[in-house]
Amino acid sequence: MEYQEIMTLNQEILARPVKPIPEDRLQKERDLYQKRNRRSLEIFEKARHLIPGGVEHNLSQSKPFPLAMDRAKGYHMWDVDGNVYVDYLMSGAPIILGHAFDSLDEKIIEIIREKGPATGLTSEYEILAAEEIIRHMPGVEMVRFLQSGTEADMAAIRIARAFTGKQKIIKVGGSYHGWSDQMVFSLHVPGTGLLNSRGITAESYAHLIDVKPNDFAALEKAFEDSKDKGGVAAVIVEPIGGESGTHPVHPDWNRRVRELCDHYQSLLIFDEVVTGFRLDMGGAQKYFGIMPDITVLGKIIAHGYPSAGAVGGRRDVMSVCQGGMGEKIYIGGTLAANPITTAACYYALKLMEEHDAVGKATAYADRLTASLNDLFSTRSDLGFFAYNFGPIMHYVTTAFFAVDLFSPDAFTQIMTRKQTADEYQVVTLAHGLCTLAGTRMYSCMQHDDEALNKTLEVWEYLLSLIPRG
Ligand SMILES: Cc1ncc(COP(=O)(O)O)c(C=O)c1O
């Protein structure tokens, strides 16, 4: 689906009142959820006293209460009560071969048995993994491993400032680049600014410029206005748009950002934590044919194994990470580039290529998206729609992400629409579909006809709960 169509369909949903599931039907779904998930509830009750909020993961769904998972294999996931799910969370995107992929796991188990988890010094896997990343990512000539996407984003910004000697960072509203002080700004919904900034000093944002998605004029103005104020060190973008394409990019956006970065001698950072090795083995940079100066990679490089993050880029740019004391920028991490993570990276990337994981996951996502849109077209009164960037799928039901913050009742709109989307998610979960935040789905190469049919069946049921008209 093209950018313009997505924007139009979002607006059409926003122009309609939300369509909640009537209370009596919803209560039955809540009851079913409760009945199926007794053990999850017990775990949550215990967790609440040990872990603030009872959950650790940003991606955990919390209504009516969070589910606890037991195991995952292929595209299936089983919760602690033994219920099975068609999984589209894929651990938050890193899984594309399928969960617990035997030939990858066997390698890792062998390494743990024979070599131990870490030495704190160079392992050969570090070099093998770096070679693999560099071989695939056209904009990466050198790479440094870190421990998470958040860390890699922090490093990218530091590298950009050190290399250019400039200060400002331009970030696009609604994008996520980890939770470091300066990046927690205008999260989820563009324009929300400081909403999530509790605990962060105002000074942390002194050199951050927030522009609205696809606002070409604001972008250019930010460069121009920064000329006498320290200059723009970098623009950081999610190359398919904020929150992995929830706020999709205009087809000319990345090209224009590149042009402006060149013109003002600033660097372009592509945050490819989700798009790298998922949209394409060469990331969004290969997909769009636009070269960033710095690339941020995360969880998928270790395919779900822990401690994964990397920053890579042009050789001259990356050279600020080397040299003597006072010359190089200070980044690191005790367990960064450990043998388990880097071996997982090396073998996972090899397996993804060998199995054409991206191609297969994309073919499934194309099919599922088209089938969902066919199904949604039978309920034109709702206006629901789905779109995908390769194996990154979005479905839009209440469009709470697209609410214009400058509209008078913006916050009420967001809350009401989010609540209805959460209620839809209770139904999908109670019937065995696990998605991300009730709006996003990631496919893996093993999703098949059975997964597709099950997904459509659940959606058909959900639609049947919402009154027509
Ligand atoms: C685009 C993007 N950048 C950065 C991050 C942060 O990565 P991590 O959770 O590994 O810190 C995420 C996490 O989902 C992400 O989606």
Quick: pLDDT tens for 418-455. 999 999 999 999 999 999 988 999 999 999 999 999 99
pLDDT of 12 > 80? The answer is: yes
| Domain formed by 3-97+356-465, architecture | Alpha-Beta Complex (3.90)
CA 90/CA 70 separation, integer angstroms? 14
pLDDT of 59 > 90? The answer is: no
CA 456/CA 110 separation, integer angstroms? 40
Measured in Å, residue 204 CA sits from the centre of ligand 1 at: 20
Measured in Å, residue 208 CA sits from the centre of ligand 1 at: 19
CATH 3.40.640.10: which residues of the chain? Answer: 103-354
So what CATH class is 103-354? alpha beta
pLDDT in the model for residue 63: 85
CA 1/CA 241 separation, integer angstroms? 14
Q: Ligand 1: which of 146, 249, 299, 303 to mutate, judged by most atoms within 8 Å of the beta carbon?
A: 299
Average pLDDT over residues 191-219: 97
Q: Ligand 1: which of 175, 269, 273 to mutate, judged by most atoms within 8 Å of the beta carbon?
A: 273
**Helix orientation angle between 253-263 and 216-226, rounded to the nearest 10 degrees:** 10
Q: Note if 171 is an active site residue.
A: no
Average pLDDT over residues 267-296: 98
Measured in Å, residue 203 CA sits from the centre of ligand 1 at: 23
CATH 3.90.1150.10: which residues of the chain? Answer: 3-97+356-465
Strands 247-248 and 267-271: unpaired
Measured in Å, residue 178 CA sits from the centre of ligand 1 at: 5
With cut-offs at 50, 70 and 90, classify the pLDDT of residue 357.
very high
C-alpha torsion angle, residues 336, 339, 341, 343 (rounded to 10): 140
Q: Which residue has the tokens 């099950």?
A: 454
- Residue pair 232/211 in contact by the 8 Å Cβ criterion: no
Q: Which residue has the tokens 């294999």?
A: 73
Average pLDDT over residues 324-332: 93
Q: Ligand 1: which of 176, 236, 305, 440 to mutate, judged by most atoms within 8 Å of the beta carbon?
A: 176
- Specify which residues 78 forms β-bridges with: 71, 84
Supply the residue whose CA is at minimum distance from atom 1 of ligand 1. Answer: 273
pLDDT in the model for residue 58: 79
Give the chain's mean pLDDT: 97
Q: From the centroid of its chain, how far is CA 403?
A: 20
Measured in Å, residue 92 CA sits from the centre of ligand 1 at: 9
pLDDT in the model for residue 405: 87
CA 297/CA 139 separation, integer angstroms? 12
pLDDT of 215 > 80? The answer is: yes
With cut-offs at 50, 70 and 90, classify the pLDDT of residue 61.
confident
271, 280, 387, 424: which is the annotated catalytic residue? 271
* The ligand 1 atom nearest the CA atom of 93: 14
- Percent of the residues in the chain that have a pLDDT greater than 90, as a whole number: 96
pLDDT in the model for residue 62: 82
pLDDT of 265 > 80? The answer is: yes
pLDDT in the model for residue 60: 75
Neighbours of 224 (CB within 10 A): 12
With cut-offs at 50, 70 and 90, classify the pLDDT of residue 192.
very high
With cut-offs at 50, 70 and 90, classify the pLDDT of residue 407.
confident
CA 202/CA 359 separation, integer angstroms? 44
Lining ligand 1 with CB less than 6 A are 92, 148-150, 153, 176-178, 238, 271, 273-274, 298-299, 309
CA 188/CA 176 separation, integer angstroms? 8
Q: What is the DSSP letter of 310?
A: E
pLDDT in the model for residue 408: 87
- Residue pair 277/250 in contact by the 8 Å Cβ criterion: no
299, 346, 364, 387: which is the annotated catalytic residue? 299
CA 408/CA 135 separation, integer angstroms? 50
Q: Note if 280 is an active site residue.
A: no
pLDDT in the model for residue 429: 97
Measured in Å, residue 386 CA sits from the centre of ligand 1 at: 23
Average pLDDT over residues 265-286: 98
Supply the residue whose CA is at minimum distance from atom 7 of ligand 1. Answer: 149
**Could you read off the pLDDT of 366-393 as tens digits, one per residue?**
999 999 999 999 999 999 999 999 999 9
75, 176, 205, 364: which is the annotated catalytic residue? 176
pLDDT of 203 > 90? The answer is: yes
* The ligand 1 atom nearest the CA atom of 148: 10
pLDDT of 264 > 90? The answer is: yes
